[in-house]
Amino acid sequence: MLPDGERPALVEVAGGRIAAVREHDAAPDGVRLVVDLGDVALLPGLVDTHVHVNEPGRTEWEGYATATRAAAAGGVTTVVDMPLNSLPPTVDPTALAVKRAAATGQLHVDVAFWAGAVPTNIGSLRGLHDAGVLGFKCFTTDSGVAEFPPLSWPQVRDVLGELAAFDGLLAVHAEDHAELMTAPAVDDASFASFVRSRPASAEVRAVATLVELLRETGARAHVLHVSAADALAELDRARADGVRVTAETCPHYLTLTADDAVDATYKCCPPIRDAANRERLWDALTAGAVDCVVSDHSPCPPDLKAGGYATAWGGIASLQLGLSLVWTRARTRGAGLCDVVRWMATNPADLVGLRGKGRIAVGCDADLVAFAPDEVWDVDPARLHHRHPITPYAGRRLTGRTRMVWLHGIQVGRHPTGDLLSREA
């Protein structure tokens, strides 16, 4: 799957990078190893820019060793770790150093970092930018953990003004807090009531407010995990006017519906919505109105998922499954593997400025995935590499499976070989 489309090719690797892309029948010169994949597809490694690894501090929720092993098993070769739910959260350079130290020696894939924008570090974000984070994340409503408080809309404006000075990127969990405060309460036994408690209008209102602040400041922002298709019209209008805003969605919003939910393994924020909304998200994705598909991998221990819909942790662990989940649905809608590569590798890499990732092109990192697009298999939680094999996809039949993964030209195996990444100059 090349930048100019799908075709047979010979990819030469040297020194961890792609040295050449030649015709399939070209004679390789002086190489030590030739791998013939036959009819199996060769993809660039996926880039997942929305992963909660939770180490240090909540390593019992996940951790670098388990998260990156799961990533590699699913064809993800680059992970960008969110600034929460680790302790301390990544809101200052000292906390970033703690997180880097915790990750060292444990990585099966490459890992970079987001930092957090919270009320206490407004005005001092440049230090984190200079320390190498790829961007900043904020919430506009409760984050779920006390140590990572949300920003008010005036504070979001202040952060955007600060980031505009050095062209930093703000990733926004966009649900309007005031709208959520007036929504109905959650019935612990009803997923439908959980959905009503986080209505689509809260996303629409938050996106509209964010767009107005972007117009004022000239900054750039990325809307995280869009679940409500209604929010995309505002983004389309903004981009047509030159506002620098992008958006992502997640495999659970593209594959599940509210009617599927039978327990709290389906709970995430914002929520999975109805089937009509899901189809509109697919329409937007294939039309280019949604830029990226990323996991929002947000795992937790089993006891935190054991409660009802009001009290259980809101997050879905799917880092290992995303490629197969998206391909299973995409192929039925006439999309090709090159489309999936654009959504899950190239566009996420471009979003965070990792120019050497997400494409099979000369000079890029030799992060490669052998993917069998027609292999049919059933999800077995016991075969997941996440620390806790909790998944709403248990037993689901999928099409397309990762066969082999190479990181910097070396096949990923038992031993950690991943690197810590920093923002590229």
Q: For every one of its 425 residues, what pLDDT tens digit does the chain have, with 9 covering 90 and above?
A: 999 999 999 999 999 999 999 998 887 777 778 899 998 999 999 999 999 999 999 999 999 999 999 999 999 999 999 999 999 999 999 999 999 999 999 999 999 999 999 999 999 999 999 999 999 999 999 999 999 999 999 999 999 999 999 999 999 999 999 999 999 999 999 999 999 999 999 999 999 999 999 999 999 999 999 999 999 999 999 999 999 999 999 999 999 999 999 999 999 999 999 999 999 999 999 999 999 999 999 999 999 999 899 999 999 999 999 999 999 999 999 999 999 999 999 999 999 999 999 999 999 999 999 999 999 999 999 999 999 999 999 999 999 999 999 999 999 988 999 999 999 75
In a domain, 88, yes or no: yes
Q: What is the pLDDT of residue 68?
A: 98
User: How much is the pLDDT for 109?
Assistant: 98
Distance, in Å, from the CA atom of 302 to the CA atom of 305, rounded to the nearest integer, reads 5
State residue 416's pLDDT score: 92
**What pLDDT is recorded for position 45?**
98
Number of domains the chain is built from: 1
> Does residue 220 sit within a domain?
yes
In this predicted structure, what is the pLDDT of residue 425? Answer: 58
Retrieve residue 204's tokens: 């629409």
Judge whether 89 lies within some domain.
yes
Q: In the structure encoding, which two tokens stand for residue 325, read together?
A: 């989940």
Domain containing 159 equals 10-411
CATH of the domain at 54: 3.20.20.140
pTM above 0.85, yes or no: yes
In a domain, 122, yes or no: yes
Q: Give Cα separations from 354 to 25, 135, 158, 345, 423 (angstroms).
A: 31, 12, 27, 10, 8
Question: Residue 1: inside a domain, yes or no?
Answer: no
